[in-house]
């Protein structure tokens, strides 16, 4: 398919102006947001004001009040408690997608970039093919038809995310290939696998780590998108994407029921994006990875 040559921002040429605070405040905020989400996921029932699945059909959807800080949904479930409980699917799934996709991507990318040749051509053919297709759309069709819910959604996304990761790791491995330390290792007779994992991999690692963060953000957006369409978690599970879909209908009575989980998705994803970009820039300016 089309040869895609998207230029990535070269941070080196950008003069750092605008003061230090403007750089550190978003980082601090992002860490705070991720900290809160992790606390929600770990503590869960301990800090939730009530049972997230407790229905109350008599009151139905109510606006925020003293008893329900963020109000309730159509069947009287507490929104705040559901948001706290929803942090688990919002954290675990995207993490598995990011780490899983990057593991496959690292293996294929290192093989293609370092060994090269026909193997590389084959890997890149696959990557270019997958890159030209809309990942989430494939996920919608495959998960919708085959079923399998959340686990299947995570597995499908791992496979669909790996081509982009392969491309990035391969580019990094290619950059390392002509460097003197490789030549030195080759001269000393170090076996190929050892050069790849002991010498090349640590140099590729910074980029791998920052892209795991970026993948997490996109994984969260994708997984909650699938849940929004009813293709991720089973009905009734507290999940931010699912809540958005279910509570669209109470927008006039309790708008926060739909908006609050939406904001949680955006805040968590944006934080991960900011942290990933920041790590990437840091590694870039310290010389590693670029």
Partner 1 sequence: MTGGWLARFLLGRLLVLVPLLLLISLGVFSLLQLAPSTPERVLLGGRPATPEVLDAIRERYHLDDPFLIQYGRWLLGVIQLDFGTSIRAAEPVLPMIIRRLDITLFLGAFGFLIALVVGLLMGIVAALRRGTVLDRLLVAVSVMGVSAPAFASGILLLYLFGVVLDFFPVFGAGRGFVDRLWHLTLPAIALALSAMALIVKVTRAALIEELDRDYVAFARARGLSFRRVLFGYALRNALVSVVTASGLVLIYMLTGAVLVEVTFSLPGVGSLLVDAVQGLDIPLVQGLVIVLAVFIVVVHLVIDILYRLIDPRIRFGGAHG
DSSP the chain: -----PPPP-GGGS---S-SHHHHHHHHHHHHHHHHHHHHHHHGGGT-SS-TT---TTT-S----SSSTT-B-TT--BHHHHHHHHHHHHHHHHHHHHHHHHHHHHHHHHIIIII-HHHHHHHHHHHHHHHTS-HHHHHHHHHHHH--HHHHHHHHHHHHHHHHHHHHHHHHHHHHTTSHHHHHHHHTT--HHHIIIIIIHHHHHHHHHHHHHHHHHHHHHHHHHHHHTT-SSPTTS--HHHHHHHGGGGTTT-THHHHHHHHHHHHHHHHHHHHHHHHHHHHHHTTTT-
Stretch that binds partner 1, among 87-95, 127-135, 157-165, 192-200 (CB under 8 A): 127-135
Minimum CB separation of residue 166 from partner 1 in Å reads 17
Kindly state whether residue 149 participates in binding partner 1, applying the rule CB under 8 A: no
Contact flag: residue 9 with partner 1 (CB under 8 A) = yes
Asked if 24 touches partner 1 (CB under 8 A), the answer is no
Supply the minimum distance, in Å, between the C-beta of residue 139 and partner 1.
Answer: 9
Of 31, 43, 121, 133, the one binding partner 1 (CB under 8 A) is 133
Q: Does 217 bind partner 1 (CB under 8 A)?
A: yes
263 binds partner 1 (CB under 8 A): yes
Among 177, 186, 251, 286, binds partner 1 (CB under 8 A): 251
CB of 246 to partner 1, least distance (A): 12
Stretch binding partner 1 (CB under 8 A), from 58-66, 74-82, 87-95, 268-276: 268-276
Is 76 among the residues that bind partner 1 (CB under 8 A)? Answer: no
| Closer of 96 and 217 to partner 1 (Cβ) | 217
User: Apex CA 212: angle with CA 209 and CA 214, to 5°?
Assistant: 115
* Residue 116 touches partner 1, criterion: CB under 8 A: no
Q: Which residues bind partner 1 (CB under 8 A)?
A: 1-2, 4-10, 13-18, 22, 26, 129, 132-137, 140-141, 144-147, 217, 221, 224-225, 228-231, 241, 244-245, 248, 251-252, 255, 258-259, 262-263, 265-266, 269-270, 272-274, 277
């Amino acid at each position: 398919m089309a040869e895609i040559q998207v230029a990535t921002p070269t941070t080196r040429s950008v003069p750092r102006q605008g003061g230090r605070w403007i750089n550190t405040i978003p980082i601090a905020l992002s860490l705070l947001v991720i900290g809160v989400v992790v606390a929600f996921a770990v503590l869960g029932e301990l800090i939730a004001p009530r049972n997230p699945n407790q229905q109350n059909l008599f009151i139905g959807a109510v606006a925020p009040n003293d008893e329900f800080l963020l109000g309730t949904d159509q069947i009287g479930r507490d929104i705040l408690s559901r948001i706290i409980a929803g942090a688990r699917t919002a954290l675990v799934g995207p993490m598995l997608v990011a780490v899983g996709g990057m593991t496959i991507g690292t293996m294929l990318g290192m093989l293609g970039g370092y060994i090269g040749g026909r193997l590389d051509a084959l890997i890149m053919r696959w990557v270019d093919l997958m890159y030209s297709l809309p990942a989430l759309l494939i996920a919608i069709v495959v998960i919708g038809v085959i079923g399998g819910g959340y686990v299947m959604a995570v597995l499908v996304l791992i496979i669909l995310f790996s081509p982009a990761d392969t491309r990035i790791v391969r580019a990094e491995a290619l950059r390392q290939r002509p460097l003197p330390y490789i030549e030195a290792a080759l001269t000393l007779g170090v076996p190929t696998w050892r050069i790849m994992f002991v010498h090349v991999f640590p140099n590729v690692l910074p980029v791998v780590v920052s892209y795991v963060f970026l993948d997490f953000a996109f994984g969260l957006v994708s997984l909650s998108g699938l849940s929004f369409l009813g293709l991720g978690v089973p009905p009734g599970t507290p999940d931010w994407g699912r809540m958005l879909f279910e509570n669209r209908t109470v927008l006039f009575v309790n708008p926060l029921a739909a908006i609050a989980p939406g904001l949680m998705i955006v805040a968590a994803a944006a934080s991960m994006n900011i942290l990933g970009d920041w790590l990437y820039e840091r590694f870039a300016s310290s010389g590693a990875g670029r």
